[in-house]
Amino acid sequence: QVQVVESGGGLVQAGGSLRLSCAASGSSFSINVMGWYRQAPGKQRDLVAAITSGGSTNYADSVKGRFTISRDNAKNTVYLQMNSLKPEDTAVYYCNADVSWAMTGPVYRYWGQGTQVTVSS
């Protein structure tokens, strides 16, 4: 019932910038948390940044001061502005949305298909 679609990945040189976008769409629902994760080949999928509907944010230590997450609640869209990119940031970036259909109901996690970010040295 919910589709999550990322965009904005690509190839960039070290020190450059990219902005990722993620939109959740479908039937009537409410989103509590939206976030970005990343996974390099052979590595664990790790949290990059997350944001609540109230605007509270959380960042991985490795991206603090370089990445900024923001959210448009009306559009069910989250953004990740990535500045001062490093080769270590190379990974597939996945968006997630935690969704509920009732205040007292369960929360379901939906994932996008991922977008590749490659940072060359």
For 87, phi then psi, to 5°, come to -55, -30
Percent of the chain whose predicted confidence (pLDDT) is above 70 = 100
Is 52 a residue whose pLDDT tops 80? yes
Q: 115 in helix, strand or coil?
A: strand
Is 50 a residue whose pLDDT tops 80? yes
Q: What is the pLDDT of residues 59-90, one digit of tens each?
A: 999 999 999 999 998 888 999 999 999 999 99
Is 28 a residue whose pLDDT tops 80? no
80 within 8 A of 49, measured Cβ to Cβ:
yes
Nearest in space to 55 (alpha carbons), one of 37, 73, 38: 73
- Lowest-confidence region among 14-18, 88-92, 99-103: 99-103
Is 13 a residue whose pLDDT tops 90? yes
Radius of gyration of the chain (CA): 14
One DSSP character per residue, 53-89 reads TT--EEE-GGGTTTEEEEEEGGGTEEEEEE-S--GGG
CB-side exposure of 8: number of CA atoms within 13 Å?
19
pLDDT at res. 78:
94
